[in-house]
Amino acid sequence: MALQRRKKTDRQKLIEKLDRIFSIYIRLRDAMPHSGLVKCISCGRIHHWTKIQNGHYVGRSAMSVRFSEENCHSQCVACNVMMHGNMLAYRRAMVKLYGEQKVNEIEVRGHLAKKWHDFELEEMIKYYTARVAQLKKEKNL
């Protein structure tokens, strides 16, 4: 007997859409103008913005910080996937960027429950879609 796949809910579809546009935004935010090159927050290797990923310091399952710009940075596939986030190096870079107190706040926020309303997800999709267009134009990418 074949397993039946459950249909995705509208909320799941919105979250997937926001994940895609938010990932593009983070990678473009971190990209250098004209070249589109981005440095991995963990190891420092340089990649084109289209060949790097959106790495989450506190994992994506924590909805309270899943779409937090301070929790997300460009990360190479080796660090993000193969090294499961390369978390020690990621944390050191975060402390250097934001300070120990801010990193601690992000970690605490990651333990808070958050259920996004559909209208919030829709608004973030609109906002980050506009920001992506703006960054592509500003950075000539």
- Report helix, strand or coil for 56: strand
Domain spans, the chain = 34-121
Strand ranges inside 27-101, DSSP E = 37-39, 46-48, 53-56, 72-75
**Per-residue pLDDT tens listing for the chain (141 residues):** 566 777 888 999 999 999 999 999 999 999 999 999 999 999 999 999 999 999 999 999 999 999 999 999 999 999 999 999 999 999 999 999 999 999 999 999 999 999 999 999 999 999 999 999 999 999 999
Query: Comparing C-alpha atoms, which of 121, 134, 132 is closest to residue 27?
Result: 132
CB under 8 Å to 1, separation ≥6 — which residues? none
- Residue 3 confidence (pLDDT): 65
The sign of the CA dihedral 109, 113, 117, 121 is positive
Which residues, 6 or more positions from 13, have their beta carbon under 8 angstroms from its beta carbon? none
Residues in a beta bridge with 73: 55
The residue type of 20 is R
Which residues are CB-neighbours of 38 under 8 A, at least 6 positions away?
Answer: 27, 30, 31, 32, 46, 47, 48, 49, 52, 74
